[in-house]
Amino acid sequence: MLQNLVNQIVAPATANIKISAKAPVKAAAKPAKPVKPVKPAKPVKAAKPAKVALVPFTVFYSEKRGKFMAVNGKGRTEAARKTQEAALAFLKTKYDATGTVV
């Protein structure tokens, strides 16, 4: 009977204490991030040749097109002709201006 009384008094006090037989679980180590490959340096772009302002009423040869280009009064190319005489004739006919060959 004495044992019953002891169990009643001791049991409620120890009932709130949790005893774990297992060892505490440690957090798993995070996997290492993969190393990004180093990108090669971008090559330096070659400098573009400066654009030449087109002088009004001039004629020049365009290597790209393989023709003579006539420049109008606003500084824009307007006509592409096979010969420089034809480009000069275009400027004389349309604008009554004497063109110069560059």
- CA 1, CA 3: separation in Å to the nearest integer? 5
Average pLDDT over residues 23-49: 79
pLDDT of residue 36: 85
Residue 42 has pLDDT above 70, yes or no: yes
Average pLDDT over residues 49-68: 88
pLDDT of residue 35: 83
Read off φ and ψ for residue 95, nearest 5 degrees: -110, -5
Kindly state the helix (H) or strand (E) to which residue 61 belongs, with its residue range. Answer: strand 58-62
pTM for the complete prediction? 0.50
Query: Tell me, what DSSP letter sits at residue 5?
Result: H
Taking the alpha carbons at both ends of the chain, their separation in whole angstroms is 127
